[in-house]
Amino acid sequence: MKFANRINALKPSAIRAAGKLIASKENCISFAAGYPAAALMPIDEIKEITTELIEKEGTTALQYGMTKGYQPLLEEIIKLAKEKNIDCTEENIQVTTGSQQGIFLTALAFLDKGDTIIVEKPTYLGALSSFTPFECNYKGINADHEGMLMDELEEALKTEKNVKFIYCVPNFSNPTGKTWSLERRKRTLELAKEYDVMILEDNPYGEIRFSGQEVPSMKSMDTEGRVIYLGSFSKILFAGLRVGFTIANPTITNNYEVLKQGIDLQSNQFAQTQIAEYLNRYDLNEQVKNIIEVYGEKRDIMLDIIDNKFPKSIKRTNPEGGMFVWLDLPEGTDATELLAKSVEEISVGFVPGGSFFTEPGYENTVRLNFSTVEKEDIVEGMNRLADFLNKELK
**Three-state DSSP class for residue 224:** coil
Residues of the chain with pLDDT under 70: none
Domains of the chain: 5-41+286-392 (3.90.1150.10), 63-281 (3.40.640.10)
- In this structure, are residues 176 and 142 in contact, taking their beta carbons and an 8 Å threshold? no
Q: Give tens-digit pLDDT for 29-73.
A: 999 988 999 999 999 999 999 999 999 998 999 999 999 999 999
CB 130 within 8 A of CB 107: yes
Q: Is 255 helix (H, G, I), strand (E, B) or coil?
A: helix
Output the CA angle 214-37-78, nearest 5 degrees: 45
- What's the confidence (pLDDT) of residue 22? 79
- Note the pLDDT of residue 257: 98
Q: What angle separates helix 98-110 from helix 250-263, to the nearest 10 degrees?
A: 110
pLDDT for 24 equals 76
For the chain, count helices (H), then strands (E): 12, 15
pLDDT in the model for residue 4: 86
Interatomic CA distance for residues 204 and 345, integer angstroms: 35
Contact 259, 116 (CB under 8 A): no
What is the spatial order of strands in the sheet that 163-168 belongs to? 93-96, 244-247, 227-232, 198-202, 163-168, 116-120, 137-141
Alpha carbon distance 309, 350 (integer Å): 17
Q: Is the pTM of this model over 0.75?
A: yes
